[in-house]
Amino acid sequence: MNRFKSFVEWNAFGVCSSIGDRFGVSTCRIRQFFIYSSVLTMGSPIIIYMALAFLKNIKNYIWSSKRNPWYYL
């Protein structure tokens, strides 16, 4: 079970951890919120989660391209 948990934590885009760091809330509580709200609303928070993951990855891509010295050659 610990291997599965660590795999999910490292490969699930990091959306919950970044929200938790920004607002000072436990990552576990944010994950529980997404799970419970997905069950109650039949999956609509999953769309929000994917949009946040997309925006987070775009932000990381932009920052990495600005720091790359080979980008301007």
Kindly tell me if the per-residue pLDDT of 12 is higher than 80: no
DSSP state of 72: G
DSSP state of 13: T
Q: What percent of the chain has pLDDT over 90?
A: 0
DSSP state of 68: -
Report field, pTM of the whole predicted structure over 0.75: no
DSSP state of 26: -
